[in-house]
A = this chain, B = another copy of it.
Amino acid sequence: MAHSRTRHRVGLIGTGFMGKAHAFGFISAPRVFDLPVDVELHTVADTDLAAAHVAARAFGFAHATADWRDITRNPEIDIVSITAPNALHKEMSLAAIAAGKHVYCEKPLAPLADDAREMADSAERAGIRTQVGFNYLCNPMVVLAREMIAAGELGEIRGFRGLHAEDYMADADGPFTFRHESAGGGALADLGSHALATAEFLLGPIAEVMGDCVTMIGERTDGKGVRRPVDVDDVGRAFLRFASGASGSIEGNWIATGRKMQHDFDVYGSKGALSFSQERFNELHYYSVGDAPGRQGFRRIEAAPEHPPYGRFCVAPGHQIGFNDLKAIEVAGYLAAITGDRPEPFNFRAGLRIQTLVEQVRRSARERRWLSVEN
């Protein structure tokens, strides 16, 4: 049974929340999906060398370093995973691209769309494969939603309501961090971007936006006890007009007390509707006007092998996949793109698109008027 396998050596920059998620993804994806690739965890970088060593041991990287350039300049490494602070994404990506490496960068691709554009252009010129981390779109139930819409099961799509609310910035006594000062930051960029991505994933291109960005906690205390003004938004909202003619709205909110992972959407069509919450992301609620009178209602569809690639994780329905499994799906799609089997699931061009939308919403909010979005 000769089965030629490709080998990919991965360098990971960053060992925090998303660094771990990337590592889990690279470990799981080839096994869960039986991909014809060997993934070798080559080097992990963290400015805190001890943290890099801990991560190396935990995840099985052969090498640890405090200097991310040890990854981008190492000819043995094929794929660079970037989970460093947003402000560094561009420099790291361009260095990796210049070295001919595939680049997998956490969202947002860059704080500013111009930077993201430069990154996307560079990647395409270099012919390498890119990926931006929008793993909520990898959820089998969100994919199901998209397929149902595409197949016309909901009829003509008329409306969308999207939300991504969490509460990690709700405490006004929480410290001033880089997230409160970085150009291009805020709840809209951090969370609203997910809602925008989901909106286009399901309904197609957005043509026009009207934004509303609000800062509710105007000052925070930094590590030195100094009160500093917060410039970024705590809540970012937008009205949307899709190219299809449908309308909608989104909200990104990081001061939504009590909410931990409320990435929700509702889609209304002429023949049916869908309702989803990431709080219970193994479920999709579906209403069909075709059901018999007196027997209509939103159905709670539970994730099952009928909803690929759920069955890769579990052959029994209703057992549920977890957040890290979404990352494994994302990585699997990316590896398939690298090996040439499939298009890139969410490449730098797609990441740029989200940044463009975020910037137009923010600019619209600032100028207090509707703005169109090029398509």
Q: When the two chains form their complex, are residues B261 and A320 in contact, meaning their CB atoms are under 8 A apart?
A: yes
Determine if A159 and B322 form an interchain contact, defined as CB atoms under 8 angstroms apart.
no
Given contacts A294-B307, A299-B295, A324-B322, contact A239 B255 (CB under 8 A): no
Q: Is A228 engaged at the interface, CB distance under 8 Å to the other chain?
A: no
Instruction: Decide if A260 touches B302 in the complex (CB within 8 Å).
Output: yes
A63 at the A/B interface (Cβ < 8 Å)?
no
Instruction: Check: A368 CB closer than 8 A to any chain B CB.
Output: yes
- Residues of B near A27 (CB, < 8 A) are 27-28, 31
- State the number of copies, please: 4
Q: A247-B212, A293-B306, A302-B297 given as contacts; is B318 within 8 A of A320 (CB)?
A: no
A170 located at the interface, meaning its Cβ lies under 8 Å from any Cβ of chain B in the complex: yes
| Whole-angstrom CA separation of A154 from B30 in the bound complex | 43
The reply to whether B321 and A251 contact each other, CB–CB distance below 8 Å, is no
Stretch at the interface among A199-207, A268-276, A350-358: A268-276
**A:273-306 near B, CB below 8 Å:** 273, 275, 279-281, 283, 285-289, 291, 293-302, 304, 306
Q: Are B17 and A314 in contact (CB under 8 A)?
A: yes
* Contact pick for A170, options B17, B247, B270, B304, CB 8 Å: B270
User: A300 touching B302 by the CB < 8 A rule?
Assistant: no
> Do B17 and A316 touch (CB < 8 A)?
yes
27 example contacts (A-B, Cβ-Cβ < 8 A) are as follows A34-B54, A34-B58, A159-B255, A161-B163, A166-B318, A170-B270, A210-B210, A255-B268, A256-B266, A257-B269, A257-B271, A258-B289, A260-B304, A260-B319, A261-B316, A261-B319, A283-B297, A286-B297, A294-B306, A294-B307, A295-B299, A295-B301, A299-B299, A313-B322, A313-B324, A314-B322, A322-B324
